[in-house]
Amino acid sequence: MVLERLLSLGKKERDVTEDMRRHIELLCDACKTFKAALENEDRKLMREVIDLERQGDSARRGVISHIYEGAFLPYLRPDLCKFVEVVDEVFDLLKDTATYCLDTDLPEPLRGECVRVALLNFRMSEMLMIAFDAMLKGQDLREKTLAIRIYEKKIDDMKFSIINEAQQIPVSDFWSGKMLSDLISGLTSISNVIEDASDHLQILNLSTR
Amino acid sequence: MQVREFMTTKIESIDADGSVYDAVEIMVDRHLRSLAVKVSGKSGKASIEGVVTARDIVFKVLAKGMNPKNVKVSEIASRPIICINQETNIEDAAAVMEKSNIARLYVSDGEKVVGLVSMLDIMAAELIISARGSYGS
């Protein structure tokens, strides 16, 4: 409610929230593209994830500079910036994982579960967008953050079965094993960072009440 | 929302010739309420023939004072397993559970069993549907 009032104060604040929304929208696009690329083994699409990360980076810079040009009360600015930085960490992780996918062939026994994790990552990014919109409307975020935690728990459970399955897969040398391990680790860590972003959103929501 | 988004793909199982005691060990150790009962075919490929639940073990073996080491899981397993397609939506899966009076459904992709969906999964999916509201629809 208070945030709504703050937004009504001026164009600068509205610009920031529009940029933040665009930033999360790009994250949703990147997660969706990653899932499709992994499912269809489409390297061109996987490279698009890296392009989307670059666009996300530029959106992040836009938000930060708008904030320090004087949008919002000073006490709100660190929390707003922190939230944007955490969303950017998701982009970084997604880009790294996309790069591992380009450099290594995902073994067939792992593909199904990895695609499911990518789908749940996409659903989590959508839920982050829903939570952000709800915050702008001054709504309670409890239900949305709970949904994000449910997704995170699901991915956490899947992580161990993917690791167990991966242990059965022979690797030709140290580096191919490391690349596969980093790919799995990156893919299953994205949800942790989205959960952190949702926690920051909750803090932001409370600090504007 | 389809069940494939919410199913568990790790299906814990026991061989049909295993004893009920073996099943108890696995279930207690891994905090499971049921195990798929597998039978190996002539080709060596195992298929799920039935399911043994904590309820089956307690009611059909322990409550009757039988020695679980002397009873094979195939003797008490419920058959056939109840399967739904992975594209079934959550509400329909809940209706099948209610109609069949069971807490877990196996999920198939064609002929192959690919997952398991429990009542808790249905409830979690319900929370997510509510949180999503009309987004994307």
- For chain B, say whether A141 makes contact (Cβ under 8 Å): no
Domains of chain A in sequence order: 2-207 (1.20.58.220)
Mean pLDDT, chain A, integer: 91
pLDDT tens for A17-31 read: 999 999 999 999 999
Nearest residue on chain A to B136, alpha-carbon basis:
A126
Average pLDDT over residues A187-199: 96
Q: What is the pLDDT of residue A71?
A: 80
Residues of A in contact with B132 (CB under 8 A): 126-127, 130, 147
Who among B5, B10, B135 is closest to A130 (CB)? B135
Average pLDDT over residues A138-152: 92
CB contact under 8 A, B9 and A154: no
Nearest residue on chain A to B123, alpha-carbon basis:
A150
**Average pLDDT along chain B, 137 residues, taken 10 residues at a time:** 88 94 95 91 79 95 95 93 93 95 92 91 93 79
As given in the structure block, the two tokens for residue A106 are 């995902």
Q: What is the pLDDT of residue A55?
A: 94
- For chain B, say whether A150 makes contact (Cβ under 8 Å): yes
Residue A59's pLDDT band, with cuts at 50, 70 and 90, is very high
CB contact under 8 A, A127 and B124: no
- For chain A, say whether B136 makes contact (Cβ under 8 Å): yes
Cα gap A113→A110, rounded to integer Å: 6
Nearest residue on chain B to A143, alpha-carbon basis:
B131
Average pLDDT over residues A99-115: 91
- CATH superfamily, with its number, for domain B3-132: CBS-domain (3.10.580.10)
A192: pLDDT strictly greater than 90: yes
Q: Pick from A28, A29, A39, A130 the residue to mutate for testing the B interface (most B CBs within 10 Å).
A: A130
Where are chain B's structural domains? 3-132
Residue A69's pLDDT band, with cuts at 50, 70 and 90, is confident
CB contact under 8 A, A130 and B130: no
- For chain A, say whether B127 makes contact (Cβ under 8 Å): yes
Q: What is the pLDDT of residue A75?
A: 85
CB contact under 8 A, A127 and B132: yes
Q: What is the pLDDT of residue A4?
A: 56
Looking at per-residue pLDDT, the higher value among A164 and A2 belongs to A164
Q: What is the pLDDT of residue A8?
A: 54
A208: pLDDT strictly greater than 90: no
CB contact under 8 A, A146 and B127: yes
A9: pLDDT strictly greater than 90: no
- For chain B, say whether A146 makes contact (Cβ under 8 Å): yes
Residues of B in contact with A112 (CB under 8 A): 9, 114
